[in-house]
Amino acid sequence: MPVGIEEIAFYTPKFSLDMVDLANARGEEPDKYTIGIGQTTQSVVPNYEDVVTMGVNAAKNFIEQIDRKSIEMLLFATESGVDNSKSGAIFAKNFLGLKDGIRAIELKQACYAGTLALMQAKDFVRIHPDKKVLVIASDVARYGLNTPGEVTQGAGAVAMLISADPKVAVINDDTVYMVKDEPDFWRPLDSDIALVDGHQSTDVYKEMFLALWGRYKQENTLSLDDIAAWGFHMPYTKMAKKALDQILPEVSNDQQEALREHLAEAQFYNRHVGNLYTGSLYLSLLSLLDRSDSLSAGDRIGLFSFGSGAEAELFSLTLSAGFQEQVAKNRIQSMLDQRQKLSMAEYEAVFLSQHFDSKNEEKTDAPEHTRLCQFIGWQDRYRKYRIAK
């Protein structure tokens, strides 16, 4: 029985920073950021947004059009959770109006956890075909002011409804995965910024892609000619190029050209949003499906999921008839165009305003009169949110 993605939606906060402004402020060549690393703008998170608000705001794009009672499980993937104990899934379940008779849990393994959620959802629906699973992958990529990772920051969430009515794409039974203990990227419990050995992390990513691609081909008796296009976890868009370049010589020049063109489509939105950790691969998928006019139903899309530390998975989707309409509902380009561009001074102020002390009854800058879910501050050391029902 085919199981896969019925709905997919994206949300990113309303502020952005131009990478040319960042390069100029940090004494770097703008071309290093825009060409060498491949980022044009990044989303900046105001202090009234977090992984809960972004995840809820993504899922709100389709939750009112579906039968909420059919959702039996909510899997919330993040590595920038809001509490050391309580799961973001429970906040999200409440704000999305899901029934109490549901399982809801938060999953963590760097940028990889969204893919574990997707695979668990697929297996669950296979056994319970009348039920659906909501997967939310939501993160804030935060490396700190004046760090080499700063150009690879970003934020956002992707929500996916997994069911036996896969209107976007079927998740194929061809996955391969692996784990290697690597000290390439981590975030100590007392730190709100990630620590990273950037060049080592890039090497680990490339190595794991190559190892899994070798296994994928062998175990599924498939070749690169069988893959119409790729989506990648994209900490920065050049990373995906570095991975794909390793295997392009396996096909003809024409096929290499076609895969490169599709990669540009799969990089497009990520180039304008930045890293969103768990959601990054699925934004790349959205970007590919939204920007391409040459993909069609039945095409096989290869996806590479990577989370530092490190864990990776390589699998494929088969596109369903009508996937374009399902994806276009998101109007991602218009969401990105409507973001407010910040100056460097404004960006640094917004960045530093994220530091709250839960012992103080602090309020965030959440504006009134919005239908979006917002974090409004601390009360009795508990996070308080607002959402228009």
Q: Which listed residue (46, 149, 156, 166) binds ligand HMG by CB under 6 A?
A: 149
The SS3 assignment for 235 reads: coil
**Residue of 150, 233, 262, 373 with catalytic role:** 233
The least distance separating ligand HMG from the CB of residue 166, rounded to whole angstroms, comes to 27
Total Cβ atoms within 10 A of residue 349: 11
Is 199 a binding residue for ligand HMG by CB under 6 A? The answer is yes
By C-alpha distance, which of 26, 22, 39 is closest to 346?
Answer: 22
Q: How far apart are CA 211 and CA 177, in angstroms?
A: 10
118: left (phi over 0), alpha (psi -120 to 50) or beta: alpha
Q: How far apart are CA 194 and CA 342, in angstroms?
A: 23
Is 152 a binding residue for ligand HMG by CB under 6 A? The answer is yes
Residue 71 near residue 134, CB atoms below 8 Å: yes
The least distance separating ligand HMG from the CB of residue 261, rounded to whole angstroms, comes to 20
The SS3 assignment for 157 reads: strand
Q: 112: number of CA atoms within 13 Å, CB side?
A: 19
79 is catalytic: yes
Q: 68: number of CA atoms within 13 Å, CB side?
A: 15
Binding mask 200-229 for ligand HMG (x = CB under 6 A): -xx--x------------------------
Residue 259 near residue 248, CB atoms below 8 Å: yes
Is 53 a binding residue for ligand HMG by CB under 6 A? The answer is no
Amino acid present at 202:
T
**Residue of 49, 72, 79, 265 with catalytic role:** 79
Binding mask 6-45 for ligand HMG (x = CB under 6 A): -----------------------x-xx--xxx--------
The SS3 assignment for 361 reads: coil
End-to-end Cα spacing for the chain: 36
Number of residues engaging ligand HMG in binding (CB under 6 A): 30
**Residue of 6, 49, 111, 272 with catalytic role:** 111
Q: Which listed residue (177, 198, 211, 384) binds ligand HMG by CB under 6 A?
A: 198
Nearer Cβ to ligand HMG, position 11 or 277? 277
Q: Which listed residue (16, 163, 275, 284) binds ligand HMG by CB under 6 A?
A: 275
Is 235 a binding residue for ligand HMG by CB under 6 A? The answer is yes
Positions that interact with ligand HMG (CB under 6 A): 29, 31-32, 35-37, 79, 110-111, 148-149, 151-152, 185, 196, 198-199, 201-202, 205, 233, 235-236, 238-239, 275, 277, 306-308
Q: Which residues are part of the catalytic machinery? A: 79, 111, 233
